[in-house]
Amino acid sequence: MRNKTGLVTGAAGGIGEAVVRALVAEGVAVAALDANAQALAVVVKGLVEEGHVVRGYPVDVSSSVAVDAVVEAAEHELGPISYLVNAAGVLRTGAAIALTDDDWNQTFAVNATGVFHVSRAVARRMIPRRTGAIVTVASNAATTPRWNMAAYAASKAAAAGFTRCLGLEVAKFGIRCNVVAPGSTNTPMLTSLWSEGGGDALRASLDGAPEQFRLGIPLGRLAEPEDVADAVLFLLSPRAAHITLHDLTVDGGAALGR
């Protein structure tokens, strides 16, 4: 993987940042994308100071025009993109019947439409080169219903379905497309759900919540972002050379292997 180029969305924190760090450790030059320009600049500055080749591109992935321009710039400045990781995501919680139009539209704009925009822009460039690997970070909620997460679960299911369909179409060009589906992971997105519940909310994640028909985590701990990044790195790497259209769940057994 050394001396190749990767593009990662949601790179300013959480799983996206962990993926960037995993890639640069393998000698990959990374185009790091995020809507949070300030946080992205901090991450990129730190990695550059460590001697890695990373460039930050503030962008809203819900804008196809902006995405196309950034992908073009990244290839011009860093080289042909060999690896794409769709890790950008937003979470709007609430009862399905209480979600607003904005909750639904914004969730899909980033989690599903953003995956479409970025994957399309990158795959169009991979096809003539007849090589490349794409991984979309979805969620175990895409296949296991979760209380108060209807918009998020639906958007992640859409992203996963799109990625597998794309993978079917581009397989003849030697391009592999896979999905990683994390469960509860120690990121700001998860901890934001605990703002009111505190320790009780953490125990509910680990032990389950029968009143919400939710199982706990058999391994008894939250995933760290690096756990998910390791799975992403494997699917991008030559060690997964014959794996495509696959959905790899990384949730400590929370979805009982679904």
pLDDT in tens, 87-101: 999 999 999 999 999
93 shares its domain with 212: no
- With contact defined as beta carbons under 8 Å apart, do 88 and 114 qualify? yes
pLDDT in tens, 199-242: 566 777 788 888 888 889 999 999 999 999 999 999 999 999 99
Task: Judge whether residue 61 has pLDDT over 90.
Answer: yes
How far is 204 from 217, CA to CA, in rounded Å?
Answer: 10
Q: Phi/psi at 51 (nearest 5 deg)?
A: 100, 10
What DSSP string describes 158-226?
A: HHHHHHHHHHHHHGGGTEEEEEEEE-SBSSHHHHGGGTTTTHHHHHHHHHEEGGGTEE--TTSSPBPHH
Specify the pLDDT at position 1.
95
Q: Phi/psi at 131 (nearest 5 deg)?
A: -165, 155
Task: Judge whether residue 38 has pLDDT over 90.
Answer: yes
208 shares its domain with 242: no
Catalytic residues: 152
What DSSP string describes 126-162?
A: HHHHT-EEEEEE--GGGTS--TTBHHHHHHHHHHHHH
34 shares its domain with 153: yes
Counted domains in the chain: 2
List the end-to-end C-alpha distance of the chain, in Å, as a whole number.
Answer: 31
pLDDT in tens, 65-90: 999 999 999 999 999 999 999 999 99
pLDDT in tens, 127-174: 999 999 999 999 999 999 999 999 999 999 999 999 999 999 999 999
Residue type, 27: G
CA 43 to chain centre: 17
Specify the pLDDT at position 198.
52
Mean pLDDT of the chain: 95
What global pTM score does this model have? 0.95
128 shares its domain with 68: yes
- Domain of residue 165, residue span: 5-183+225-249
197 shares its domain with 234: no
User: Is 156 among the domain residues?
Assistant: yes
Report the CATH number that the domain containing residue 245 is assigned in CATH. Answer: 3.40.50.720
95 shares its domain with 217: no
User: Is 208 among the domain residues?
Assistant: yes
User: Is 254 among the domain residues?
Assistant: no
